[in-house]
């Protein structure tokens, strides 16, 4: 038997056997990588273990939104329609609920016999100073207009490298940075996003553009549910993001993993054996190393201008310190980056400090920068910083031409 067939056979067997995360080994991680790349199909299918996609969905696999485990490319054609996958339109009301008809995502694909929710696009506006503003737009809406309270936000699928290191950062380390900035009493004063648990515990969010998830498992489970429409141990509804208003979607066939059931006893499409192995694979992706030797002059200017106040080169201490270039705190970045979708307790202008580790890969692939891919390069991304970052922007603008070039080259190498 070939090595590939042996791995497939072993994977099929192991997927039937739940294992605690700490017991997962290198074979499990290889299986997780294969599952990350697997294109899922709508039910019913001849290969039962591959079905369950949708009925509404944004992509067919994790890898289609995270090419080579990296950041998606935010590209739109001449008519403003999304090219490829990896950019989603989030939908939300001020109270945190989704739209009563469209739910929490605009799903642009659908299983046979089901109508997709619409066409995702963006209108780019070029400002007098050369910056590109990006306005989300949805056309050919399949189920009527959005409800008036519903806001929308374009979000790019992020680079997944270093997310395991991010998961290992303790809540205490993040809270220590919050307290340090508060004591300093300066313009920069980030705050941790506190996630209340049903049992009264509070955990610190770190994953997602606004730190909506404390754990990698929760973020991946939500992506399976909202973006692929697949039920799992954390989201048990078999129809994914289909709302009661979408009766055909809710009544469509659904898939299930062998022997996997949710808390209510219903069959799941992504069981814990699959979810745990995908999480284990993503957690092994290391923090990306800088592209070449970072410039000492660039690093000095990065600190002197105040960029490092939020984009902390590392968090933690000892062997677990992570060079992510983020403090994982929410900061008010001003009206220029104001979001179109409210979240409970989060200002529309607040964003978690985006990790800069891996930026060189995003630039090499011309994915666009910031949460919606509007910035074409590092100087343009810097120019969008306001609010708590306004002083850092002023100091950057006051640099000489060679100094700006050194700082930009340093950031671009990360």
Of 92, 91, 72, 71, which is closest to residue 82 (Cα–Cα)? 72
Q: Is the peptide bond between 358 and the residue preceding it cis, with omega within 30 degrees of 0?
A: no
Residue 16 is predicted with a pLDDT of: 45
Predicted local distance difference test score (pLDDT) of residue 1: 40
In the prediction, which pLDDT does 48 show? Answer: 63
In a domain, 204, yes or no: no
Residues 379 and 243 in one domain: no
Instruction: Establish if 52 belongs to a structural domain.
Output: yes
Angle (deg, nearest 10), helices 26-37 and 272-284: 100
Residues 106 and 190 in one domain: no
Residues 317 and 174 in one domain: yes
Shared domain check, 258 and 295 = no
> What DSSP character marks residue 252?
S
206 occurs within a structural domain: no
> In which residue are the tokens 């979001």 written?
339
Question: From start to end of 288-362, where are the E strands?
Answer: 330-332, 350-352
Tokens representing 266 are: 């219903």
Instruction: Output the pLDDT for position 293.
Output: 82
Last residue of a domain, one of 259, 286, 313: 286
Output the six-digit token pair for 123: 């209108």
Q: What is the pLDDT of residues 324-382, one digit of tens each?
A: 999 999 999 999 999 999 899 999 999 999 999 999 999 999 999 999 999 999 999 99
In a domain, 67, yes or no: yes
Tell me whether residue 208 is in a domain.
no
Same domain assignment for residues 190 and 231: no
Give 357-399 as a DSSP string: TTHHHHHHTT--BSTTS-BSSHHHHHHT--GGGHHHHHHHHTS
In a domain, 65, yes or no: yes
For the beta carbon of residue 151, count every other beta carbon within 10 angstroms: 18
Q: Judge if 182 and 78 occupy the same domain.
A: no
Q: What angle do CA 37, 41, 45 make, to 5 degrees?
A: 130
Determine the pLDDT at residue 292. 84
- Give the pTM: 0.92
13 in any annotated domain: yes
The residue range of the domain holding 25 is: 1-161+215-286
89 and 189 part of one domain:
no
Q: Which residues contact 412 (CB under 8 A, 6 or more apart)?
A: 291, 359, 360, 363, 377, 378
> Are the beta carbons of 232 and 217 closer than 8 angstroms?
no
The pLDDT score that the predictor gives to residue 108 is: 98
| pLDDT computed for residue 320 by the predictor | 61
Specify the pLDDT at position 318. Answer: 65
pLDDT of residue 9: 42
Q: Pick the closest to residue 406 from 264, 304, 279, 289 (CA basis).
A: 304
Sign of the Cα pseudo-torsion (368, 40, 225, 243, in order): positive
- Give the pLDDT confidence of 8-36 residue by residue, as tens digits: 444 444 444 455 545 789 999 999 999 99
Q: Total structural domains in the chain?
A: 2
Q: Do 176 and 153 fall within a single domain?
A: no
Task: Let me know if residue 150 belongs to a domain.
Answer: yes
Percent of the chain scoring above 90 in pLDDT: 85
pLDDT at 265: 58
Q: 380 and 293 share a domain?
A: yes
Instruction: Identify the domain boundary among 286, 311, 331.
Output: 286
- Mean pLDDT by runs of 10 across the 414 residues of the chain is 42 48 82 97 77 95 97 96 97 95 98 97 97 97 97 98 96 96 95 95 97 98 97 94 96 76 72 96 95 90 98 81 94 97 94 97 98 98 98 98 98 97
What's 382's domain CATH number? 1.10.760
Question: Residue 46: what pLDDT?
Answer: 66
Which residues are CB-contacts of 143 (< 8 A; sequence separation ≥ 6)? Answer: 101, 102, 115, 117, 245, 246
Domain boundary among 244, 271, 286: 286
Return the residue matching tokens 């553009």.
209
Asked if 348 and 408 sit in the same domain, the reply is: yes
pLDDT for the residue numbered 7: 42
Q: Are residues 129 and 32 in the same domain?
A: yes
| 338/403 same-domain check | yes
For residue 50 the two structure tokens come to 């591959």
């Amino acid at each position: 038997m070939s090595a590939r067939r042996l791995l497939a056979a072993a994977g099929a067997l192991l997927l039937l056997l739940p294992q605690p995360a700490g017991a997962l080994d290198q074979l499990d991680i290889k299986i997780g990588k294969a599952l990350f790349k697997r294109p899922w199909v709508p039910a019913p299918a001849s290969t039962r273990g591959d079905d369950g996609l949708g009925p509404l969905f944004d992509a067919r696999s994790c890898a289609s939104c995270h090419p080579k485990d990296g950041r998606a490319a935010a590209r739109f054609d001449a008519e403003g329609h999304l090219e490829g996958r990896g950019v989603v339109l989030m939908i939300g009301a001020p109270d945190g609920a989704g739209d009563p008809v469209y739910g929490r995502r605009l799903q642009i694909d659908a299983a046979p016999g089901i109508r997709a929710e619409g066409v995702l696009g963006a209108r780019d506006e070029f400002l007098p100073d050369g910056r590109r503003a990006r306005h989300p737009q949805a056309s050919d809406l399949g189920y009527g207009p959005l409800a008036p309270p519903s806001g929308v936000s374009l979000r790019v699928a992020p680079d997944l490298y270093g997310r395991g290191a991010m998961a290992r950062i303790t809540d205490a380390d993040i809270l220590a940075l919050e307290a340090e900035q508060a004591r300093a009493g300066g313009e920069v004063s980030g705050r941790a996003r506190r996630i209340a648990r049903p049992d009264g515990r509070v955990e610190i969010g770190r994953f997602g553009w606004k730190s909506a998830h404390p754990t990698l498992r929760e973020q991946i489970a939500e992506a399976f549910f909202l973006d692929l429409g697949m039920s799992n141990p954390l989201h048990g509804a078999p129809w994914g993001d289909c709302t009661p208003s979408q009766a055909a979607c809710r009544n469509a066939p659904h898939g299930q993993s062998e022997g996997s059931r949710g808390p209510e006893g219903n069959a799941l499409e992504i069981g814990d054996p699959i979810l745990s192995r995908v999480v284990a694979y993503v957690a092994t992706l290391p923090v990306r190393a800088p592209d070449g030797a970072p410039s000492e002059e660039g690093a000095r200017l990065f600190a002197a201008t105040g960029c490092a106040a939020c984009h902390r080169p590392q968090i933690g201490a000892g062997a677990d310190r992570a060079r992510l270039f983020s403090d994982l705190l929410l900061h008010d970045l001003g009206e220029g980056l104001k979001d179109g979708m409210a979240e409970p307790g989060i200002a529309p202008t607040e964003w978690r400090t985006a990790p800069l580790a891996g930026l060189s890969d995003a630039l090499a692939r011309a994915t666009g920068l910031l949460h919606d891919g509007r910035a074409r390069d590092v100087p343009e991304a810097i120019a969008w910083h306001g609010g708590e970052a306004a002083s850092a922007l002023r100091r950057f603008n006051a640099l000489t031409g060679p100094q700006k070039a050194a700082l930009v080259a340093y950031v671009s190498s990360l």
